[in-house]
Chains A and B, each alone.
Chain A
Amino acid sequence: MRKTFLFLICSSFLFVSGCGDRMDLENAAFVLVLGLDLDEEGRLLVHTSNPVFSQEAEKRQDMKKTAASSLHNSRVQLNAQSQGFPAVGKLQVILISKKLAEQIDPFLLLEYLYRVAKNPTNARVVIVDGSIDGLFNAQEQMKDKPRIGVHLKDIVDTGFEGNETVDVRLQKYHYQVFEKGITPSSTELSYNNDEIKITGTSLFNSEGLYTSSLDLEETPLLLILIKETETKSPQFTFPFSSNSSDGEGGEGHNFQSLTFAIQKMKKKVRVSVQNGQFVFKESIKVDIDLTEIPTDVDFEKNKKEIKKAIEEHLKQKFSNLIKKFQENEIDPVGYGLYARSFQYKEWKNVQDDWPKAFSEAKIDFNIDVTIRNQGVMK
């Protein structure tokens, strides 16, 4: 008798489970892409795209646009748009137009996504060179491409795998904004009528505003400095001719260059303070594979020369990169972390304006290259 009673009570709970949070797939609009832009009058434009599953519908995706008079208003609308936002939980990509990022700290607009537990923190943060409207329209015309959410996600993910850009998700962006010793960076896209492509990395200053970009050649260098290249062996190439070669390489000489892939990397940073100026001594040890050598260069004879040239080349590249950072007063690498860890007293004086202190710092590179192999050719 008692057991039946208990059983009945328990089974009655079957009907109540999750009644308030129930969501039917038919009624849900899964927002895969969220775009933030400014119109001509400086008002905020919020774009969304969600896939349409209905077979009768001609379009495979539903793209929406709302204007908001102020930031606050837009946030209210983000919450209130009943059709567009019930299921932002599957968000894959957040697009922010460069125009907006130059004027407003995008982080302020995204607060809502962090606060509500339902929202994902794995969406990719992407800066778009151009208007979001244009991107949406262009993508819709591309008949051979999947829905925009999947399409953009694939582009960004393969871009990261190919060392073309940084992998910054909402969670990491939050970290970069709050960490005093680093300035934010994110993926950058551009588009035309036929294709959407990654153009590198966008960099933000300490106020959170867009300041400059790294192109496809500079981005791998940044990735090396933040140690995110471990399994992806970035390649570098530069023209090389040997002194000892007879210089009769013919016409082909100009087309050939020295190419190498970085396989293994070790990095060590020493920090000291001299006369109030931070001095970073960065020693990088890399193991490389040569993947292309100009035909008129004899590897065995010029081994040392090649090694030296590569070291010089990398050093030059890194120094130029750092110069660029310092000119813009940004520190996307996070040298501030080293400063805090090893020179805490000095760091405390400058921690609230670290990028400024970084722009006056001195950074020395010491690069040690080991040529692991030169391929199957002699």
Chain B
Amino acid sequence: MKKYALNEITTSQFIFFIYKTQVGMGILTMPRITAEEAGTDGWLSVIFGYFLAIFISLVIIKVMEKYPEDTLFDLLPKVFGKWIGKLFIIGWIGYTGYFAIVLLLMTVFIIQVWIFPQTPSFLVMWLFLIPIYMITRSGIRVIGRYAEFVYFITLWMVPLLLFGLKDAHWLNLLPILKEGWKPVLVAVQKTVVPFIGFELAFILYPFLKNKKSAFKGIIIANTLTFLLYMYVIIITYVYFSPDEIKEYTWPTLNILKSIELPFLERFEIIFLSFYMIILSMTIIPFLFTAAFGTSKLFGQKSHKIHVRIYIGVIAFFSIFYTPIGQNMESLGKWADYLGIGFGYAFPILFGLYVFIYTKLKNRRLSA
């Protein structure tokens, strides 16, 4: 009997779920962090990051194919035994919970810097938490539908960046590989974290209705993310001077700021307001995974009560904590480490372990 039959998602929901989890803060900061390492060759690093993400995604799907009815949280105790499995679950809860909180704080921080410098941050936080709570508590299928909705309602924002091309300096991109391969490869480590999100396939796979399309789905999701990143990075590179781009914390927003219509100024405010929808769709999956994890940890069926606890705790502590730029940087750094650890290293090691484990088990059975 299927455990998760009630909450099945379609292939397109699966694609947008992962794609929209990946796309978030990366759009705003990636042009700068890649340029810091590799100058205007940073776009080459994104290609490497993309292939790395595809490779890990395929490993994840391969592992999950062996246990099509189990999420990661069911699988870990099965493979490692009850206690070590629980330890891993706690690690995953910590990772996804931390990601959700850091992304929330960063969103509030950006809104404060760009739109409401005087408004207390907890008000912004509370307003933002209401829709997040309402969607997260409803489970995977609703989140999947929300992902589709987010994709279509924010589609118009993509061509806006083309405004930047009227001041483009295409020569900025030349010469290619100006300093050789080394800075490009160094910058790859900065491009892997923006691709984080595919590892949620660990949770999503059992919910997927058509399991055969998982491979195709995860490749499409990664490719959509990759194309969007390339688009944003190339436009910011040709718009700003290679030395200038490092001056801006969020270069993408500065391009939007220079858009001037006869009836409208400060275009980035409109953009950011809608961008919060996109950011919410990165926070929700992580928050859901954390809540789903704790409910599994305590053997409970419903994750709703856990979502309520998380949201309550965040809402309460946000009264006492106002995001500060420097804190955001160090929080982001830890998020990067965790992302590389759980998003990249964990799937590879876990995949290896599972393959050896099943081989040994099969041999024992046949012997």
Contact = CB atoms under 8 A, between A and B. Distances in A.
A20 interface: yes
What DSSP secondary structure best describes chain B's contact surface? loop
A285 interface: no
Counting chain A residues whose Cβ lies within 8 A of the other chain, the interface size class is 20 to 34
B119 interface: yes
A216 B119 CA distance: 49
Contacts of B120: 20
Interface in B165-223: 167, 169, 171-172, 174-175, 178
A178 B241 contact: yes
Contact of A20 (B116, B171, B247): B116
B175 A341 contact: yes
Interface stretch (B9-17, B88-96, B258-266): B258-266
B5 interface: no
Contact of A10 (B123, B130, B247, B254): B130
Nearest to A91: B265
B214 to A, nearest CB: 37
A21 B114 CA distance: 12
Interface in A63-115: 89-90
A334 B241 CA distance: 12
A22 B117 CA distance: 11
B113 interface: yes
Given A122-B265, A178-B241, A21 B119 contact: yes
A356 B265 CA distance: 39
B116 A21 contact: yes
Contact of A175 (B116, B174, B178, B240): B240
Interface stretch (A11-19, A240-248, A293-301, A361-369): A11-19
A13 B244 contact: no
A18 B115 CA distance: 10
Nearest to A23: B118
Contacts of B346: none
Contacts of B258: 121-122, 169, 171
B310 interface: no
A178 B244 contact: yes
B127 interface: yes
Contact of B257 (A19, A121, A179, A341): A121
A10 B130 CA distance: 8
A47 interface: no
B171 A341 contact: yes
B172 to A, nearest CB: 7
B117 A175 contact: no
Contacts of A174: 244, 247
B271 interface: no
B174 to A, nearest CB: 4
A118 B117 contact: yes
A89 B171 contact: no
What DSSP secondary structure best describes chain A's contact surface? helix
Contacts of A178: 241, 243-244, 247
Contacts of B114: 117
A164 B130 CA distance: 54
Contacts of A130: none
Nearest to B245: A178
B171 A179 contact: no
Given A89-B265, A344-B175, A179 B113 contact: no
Contacts of A21: 115-119
A369 B260 CA distance: 36
The listed residue with most A CB atoms (<10 A of its CB), out of B167, B171, B257, is B171
Interface residues of B, number: 30
B98 interface: no
A238 interface: no
A340 interface: yes
B175 A171 contact: no
A175 B175 contact: no
Interface string A17-50: 1111100000000000000000000000000000
Contacts of B127: 13, 17
A341 B242 CA distance: 12
B126 interface: yes
A315 interface: no
Nearest to B243: A178
A341 B174 contact: yes
B164 to A, nearest CB: 10
A117 B254 CA distance: 9
Nearest to A172: B167
A89 B115 CA distance: 12
Nearest to A13: B127
A178 B116 CA distance: 29
Interface in A272-306: none
The listed residue with most A CB atoms (<10 A of its CB), out of B120, B260, B266, is B266
Contacts of B266: 89, 120
A179 B178 contact: no
Interface string B81-103: 00000000000000000000000
A338 interface: yes
Nearest to A9: B130
A340 B240 contact: no
A342 B174 CA distance: 7
A147 interface: no
Nearest to A334: B169
Interface in B319-334: none
Contacts of B169: 334, 337
Contacts of A117: 113-115, 117, 257
Contact of A122 (B113, B240, B241, B260): B260
Contacts of A16: 123
The listed residue with most B CB atoms (<10 A of its CB), out of A20, A117, A171, is A117
A89 B257 CA distance: 12
B244 A175 contact: yes
Contacts of A10: 130
Contacts of A341: 171, 174-175
Contacts of A121: 254, 257-258
Contacts of A172: 167
Given A90-B265, A122-B265, A18 B116 contact: yes
Given A19-B119, A121-B254, A174-B244, A340 B171 contact: yes
A68 to B, nearest CB: 24
Closest 4 CB pairs of A and B: A20-B118, A341-B174, A178-B244, A179-B241
13 contacts: A13-B130, A18-B116, A20-B120, A21-B116, A21-B118, A90-B265, A171-B254, A174-B247, A179-B243, A334-B169, A340-B174, A341-B171, A341-B175
Given A21-B115, A344-B178, 8 more contacts: A10-B130, A13-B126, A21-B118, A90-B265, A120-B266, A171-B257, A178-B244, A334-B169
